[in-house]
Amino acid sequence: MQTLSSPLPPASLNQDVYTDLSGLSRMRKQAQDNPEKTLKTVARQFESLFMQMVLKSMRDASFGDSLFDSSQSRFYQDMFDKQLGLSLSQGRGIGMAEMLERQLHGSLHTSAGAVTAPADSSSLKDRKRELRMPVLNTVSVKEQTTETRTAADKSLPASFSSPQDFVQKLMPLAQKAADKLGLKPEVLLAQAALETGWGQHISRHRDGSSSHNLFNIKAGNSWDGKRVAIRTLEYRDGLARHERAAFRAYDSYADSFADYVDFLQSGPRYQPALQRVDDPKTFIRELHGAGYATDPDYANKIIDIMQRPMLQAAVENGTRHAG
């Protein structure tokens, strides 16, 4: 007969009742002594928590029982769901525990392999060389890219302090892109100002770095470059709604201007707009009509920005500084 002082069997790591909190201490000690044997228990408990969340969501979505609904019944129902979630994770469960166990098992062996690898000097040198080579190649490519950028683009900030600052610092790039399209630079600056709020709302990556996307060109299936996913406002059937979409990302504002030119010139639907570059207002309306943006007032907003004395003064000032 097993006495109270006898050691607990390995099976005691399995939590049969959700109120059994002492199992966590036993599992922590087991993990220190033999982490591989603890993986199955950890995976089962994670699956149990997941099943409890699923059950809770199902209960929340239900209208409930108006006849027997009370704080007491909800309390016991919550206890039942927690125990049910634990029971459902036992045996084969839903397969999540098995999947997690395989992933954690691979990570555990990878970490162990890294620690217990033989300290042979030649093999260590080869491994270090393999690890360093991709980094060195990446740095080399970045250095080459940086060297090819213009001096003006190197000093451009991630955001701009004012509309005048936005126009002045982007004017050289806008002028270069406008010349390729046969447009006035203020047309491009006005569109970029609308798309980014004068450079204050340029889309960013998760680490906070700028995407440099001045024209909010989306990243479709044909785009194989960098991209950033953000929440955007779109108009569907005349109604505005928020959607999450992927947009192109660039290494510099110069790349953004260059891609904008290529995007229009290579797109068949934008050819009618490019035929009217002599009339900025008509160009913008044709661009909008071709589907560049879903905002029904998109063209009028850009034209309004183009006609503001502030932009005209900023363009004149920016041109003078660029010259």
Residue 69 lies in a domain: yes
Ramachandran sector of residue 84 (left: φ over 0; alpha: ψ -120 to 50; beta: rest): alpha
Beta bridge partners of 243: 232
- Same domain? For 50 and 189 the reply is no
Residue 2 lies in a domain: no
- Same domain? For 90 and 166 the reply is no
> Does the annotation mark 130 as catalytic?
no
* Active-site option among 234, 262, 278, 279: 234
- Same domain? For 108 and 163 the reply is no
> Does the annotation mark 259 as catalytic?
yes
**Alpha helix positions (H), 182-292:** 185-196, 253-266, 271-274, 280-289
Element (H, E) at 242: strand 239-248
- Same domain? For 96 and 171 the reply is no
Last residue within a domain, chosen from 113, 137, 165: 113
Cα 307 to Cα 300: distance, rounded to the nearest angstrom: 11
Residue 14 lies in a domain: yes
Whether the pTM exceeds 0.75: the reply is no
Residue 121 lies in a domain: no
- Same domain? For 184 and 274 the reply is yes
- Same domain? For 192 and 78 the reply is no
Last residue within a domain, chosen from 56, 87, 113: 113
Residue 149 lies in a domain: no
The domain total for the chain is 2
Find the CATH number of the domain harbouring 197: 1.10.530.10
- Same domain? For 195 and 58 the reply is no
- Same domain? For 195 and 106 the reply is no
Q: What is the mean pLDDT of each run of 10 residues along the chain (323 residues)?
A: 43 55 64 69 78 76 62 75 74 73 64 44 46 39 43 62 88 94 95 93 91 94 92 84 91 96 95 96 96 93 90 70 50
* Active-site option among 81, 186, 259, 286: 259
Last residue within a domain, chosen from 61, 91, 113: 113
Residue 167 lies in a domain: yes
Closest CA to 179 of 287, 255, 258, 270: 258
For the stretch 94-116, what's the b/e string if a residue is b when 16 or more beta carbons lie within 10 angstroms of its beta carbon?
Answer: eebbeebbeebeeeeeeeeeeee
Residue 43 lies in a domain: yes
Cα 108 to Cα 39: distance, rounded to the nearest angstrom: 9
Residue 80 lies in a domain: yes
**pLDDT at position 136:** 35
CB neighbour list of residue 209: distance below 8 Å, 6 or more residues apart: 158
Domain that holds residue 188: 155-203+253-322
**pLDDT at position 31:** 65
- Same domain? For 199 and 286 the reply is yes
Cα 285 to Cα 237: distance, rounded to the nearest angstrom: 19
- Same domain? For 75 and 192 the reply is no
